[in-house]
């Protein structure tokens, strides 16, 4: 399951119409383990996108059950869906609502993409709302990205630590099972 954070970034941007700089605040979605990592990742991503100064003004936990990216879409839409679920303890039906983020060209396209993405769901669902989201981009983790980042210099990978521990244990076992080396005099004393 993804841990998602919505990050707001404020910076100066050149207005397309007037050509004058203006301050803008934009929202981005980051997949991260913690608030600290979300902040680190948004700074890294923004450094590649924005020339000049910027400030991360807010980071909030985002509550999206699913994200449906679409390369053909040009903006993100937030959707609220609901479905009926059985409460295992009481045996009663209860209505469950989830938020979904979908990349699409318009509301109808978002509606269609949600149905495509939820196609394998075994229960019926209703789409209660679809609205344009302020989120401009989503930065997910890609396979292998965690390994590329590496660990801080004062830490080492668990696999390396386990290997060293195993090697140390093997050396101790070998030392305990080796026959002791006795000098000729000591050997004669034992016989």
Q: What percent of the chain has pLDDT over 90?
A: 44
Question: Is the pTM of the predicted complex or chain greater than 0.75?
Answer: no
Return the domain boundaries, the chain. 1-62
CATH number of 1-62: 3.10.20
Confidence class for position 36, pLDDT limits 50, 70, 90 = very high
3-state SS, residue 43:
helix
Query: How would residue 86 be classed by pLDDT, with cut points 50, 70 and 90?
Result: confident
pLDDT in tens, 47-81: 998 888 999 999 999 999 999 998 888 999 999 99
């Amino acid at each position: 399951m993804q841990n998602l954070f919505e990050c707001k970034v404020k910076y100066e941007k050149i207005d397309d119409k007037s050509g004058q700089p203006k301050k803008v605040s934009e929202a981005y979605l980051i997949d991260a383990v913690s608030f600290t990592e979300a902040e680190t990742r948004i700074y890294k991503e923004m450094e590649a996108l924005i020339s000049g100064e910027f400030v991360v003004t807010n980071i909030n936990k985002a509550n999206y059950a699913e994200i449906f990216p679409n390369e053909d879409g040009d903006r993100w839409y937030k959707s609220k869906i609901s479905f009926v679920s059985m409460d295992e303890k009481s045996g009663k039906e209860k209505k469950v609502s989830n938020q979904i983020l979908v990349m699409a060209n318009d509301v109808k396209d978002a509606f269609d993409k949600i149905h495509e993405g939820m196609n394998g769901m075994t229960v019926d669902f209703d789409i209660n709302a679809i609205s344009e989201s302020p989120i401009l981009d989503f930065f997910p983790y890609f396979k292998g990205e965690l390994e590329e980042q590496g660990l801080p210099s004062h830490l080492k990978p668990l696999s390396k630590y386990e290997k060293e521990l195993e090697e140390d244990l093997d050396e101790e076992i070998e030392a305990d099972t080796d026959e002791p080396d006795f000098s000729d005099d000591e050997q004669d004393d034992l016989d």
